[in-house]
Amino acid sequence: MKIVLHDFEAGSENPYDGLQVDDSPTLLKILDDLQYRDPFILELEGDNGYRMTIGIGGPICCVQYGANNGDPPYLTAVLKDEVQTYGRGVQVYLCGGQKTQFDISKCLPFTTLKTISCHFLETGNRSSAVDWIELEPA
């Protein structure tokens, strides 16, 4: 499968914005390169009609999975059978110049983000390394 990366932060000079990726080593390098930017929203748009929208920046991330056309269901990744260590509150990611809050209890370690992003690239499907819960439409 192939994915296209879309950086949703306004004014970003991300050299990977709009890049088409078709192999996991390249995707992993990109994610590693972007990890320490100020937290922002990045979309991995698959050529299979699905996308992963990720909040990236620092050691914790968030991931949502859904159809490219925006139709429900809207799914978010959560850790399996583990105690959440990030406490209560929100993690803030920049998207289009706006602060977007994400419930920190639904955040994942960066290493987990890399695992499920590569699975998506390789298969087009959601990874079973995490649980997926449905979110209500906004």
Question: Per-residue pLDDT for 118 more than 80?
Answer: yes
pLDDT digit string, tens, across residues 55-82: 998 889 999 999 999 999 999 999 887 6
Distance CA 27, CA 129 (A): 18
Q: What is the DSSP string of 59-103?
A: SEEEEEEEETT-PSPEEEEE-SS----S-SSEEEEEETTEEEEEE
DSSP 123: H
Look up the domain containing 90 and give its range: 3-135
Q: What are phi and psi of 117, to 5 degrees?
A: -70, -40
Predicted confidence at residue 58, as pLDDT, reads: 87
The DSSP call for residue 136 is: P
Contact 4, 53 (CB under 8 A): no
The pLDDT assigned to 137 comes to 64
Predicted structure pTM score: 0.91
CB atoms within 10 A of CB 17: 14
The least confident of 6-15, 35-44, 101-110 is 6-15
pLDDT at 98 over 60: yes
- When divided into structural domains, the chain yields a total of 1
